[in-house]
Amino acid sequence: MLIRSTPPFPIAPSEITPEAVHADRRQFLARLGLAGAGLALTGCGEAAPPAASAAPAAAELPALAVGQKRNFAGDETPSRYQDITEYNNYYEFGTDKSEPARNAGSLRTRPWTVMVDGECEAPGPLDLDALLKPHALEERIYRLRCVEAWSMVVPWVGFPLADLLKRFKPTSKAKFVQFFSLADEQQMPLIKRGVLPYPYREGLRIDEALHPLAFVAVGLYGRVLPNQNGAPIRVITPWKYGFKGAKSIVRIHFTERQPETTWNAIGASEYGFYGNVNPDVDHPRWSQASERRLGELRRRPTLMFNGYPEVAPLYAGMDLRRYY
């Protein structure tokens, strides 16, 4: 247990997730026999990654022209920029929370192409700037709850995912949409470790993807998204665990069948396809009833759908213990 009798304040980000959970997730990967997972387990024994270069500080990232600003996290204030950008899950750049900020400087976010394919009438490769051009940017402050039971509040900048997906004219067969992250050994030397099967893939039912809360993020705190947070473009579904939001997206695939998703493929009993935040359905190895918010000392109760009850109709009639 990490709470001390005289805790430092603010609590160090590295102490937010109980080490047992980190270790559990890594041991889980090692048990699966994924190449390199054993290496990931050694932690401090790892060699410094090649071609690593630190991501730029906030002031160095271009400011974005942001229109509407809305707080979807009630009266909660955003987490500190430093916490949001230095406590990351981005396994392509390392499995420790501090590694992505140190290593993701090698990611080149221009030129960037997103391939759109599958069940849609307007497929094709799209240059990122052409992809972004029609969309007015807005700020949305959302809670982010990781499956590891830590959370934060993030002022994302972007636009509704529905506005993007509708441009590709999904056909009536498009029941799901799958997102693929970049997997490039040149820019991401650590993916050779094979901690996860890459590219990182995630997916949503099409009605989830078209829900007004589903968001495409290209920035945070009014500036371009830092690489470690998924630049240049990522998906945010605030009522789901963070793993549902693929970073650095290079392909959008519309499909009739439920697509394979990374964490679900390696451990379906631990990471459901839906990944909805649900305090009543524990992870097999830890409770999901409460969470540790970055910057706070005490755990707080986890809210159903992460406090976004407006998504409940998407799951009407579904047994959420079975479809977790």
Q: Which CB atom, from 173 or from 222, has the smaller least distance to ligand MTE? A: 222
Q: Which CB atom, from 83 or from 119, has the smaller least distance to ligand MTE? A: 83
Ranked by CB distance to ligand MTE, the top (closest) residue is 242
Q: How far is the CB of 241 from ligand MTE (least distance, A)?
A: 7
Q: How far is the CB of 278 from ligand MTE (least distance, A)?
A: 16
Q: How far is the CB of 211 from ligand MTE (least distance, A)?
A: 19
Nearest-angstrom CA–CA distance, 140 and 282: 28
Which residues have a Cβ under 8 Å from the Cβ of 221 and sit 6 or more positions away?
A: 58, 78, 81, 84, 155, 157
Q: How far is the CB of 172 from ligand MTE (least distance, A)?
A: 30
Q: Which CB atom, from 170 or from 242, has the smaller least distance to ligand MTE? A: 242
Q: How many CA atoms lie within 13 A of 68 on its CB side?
A: 10
Residue 161: closest CA among 218, 108, 243: 218
Q: How far is the CB of 90 from ligand MTE (least distance, A)?
A: 5
Q: How far is the CB of 89 from ligand MTE (least distance, A)?
A: 4
Q: Where does this chain bind ligand MTE (CB under 6 A)?
A: 88-92, 144, 146, 181, 200, 229-230, 242-243, 245-247
Strand, helix or coil at 197? coil
Q: Which CB atom, from 219 or from 245, has the smaller least distance to ligand MTE? A: 245
Q: Which CB atom, from 221 or from 243, has the smaller least distance to ligand MTE? A: 243
Distances (CA, A) of 26 to 44, 267, 318: 14, 12, 31
109 DSSP β-pair partners? none
Nearest-angstrom CA–CA distance, 293 and 275: 19
H or E element that contains 118: strand 113-118
Q: Which CB atom, from 105 or from 242, has the smaller least distance to ligand MTE? A: 242
Nearest-angstrom CA–CA distance, 234 and 245: 7
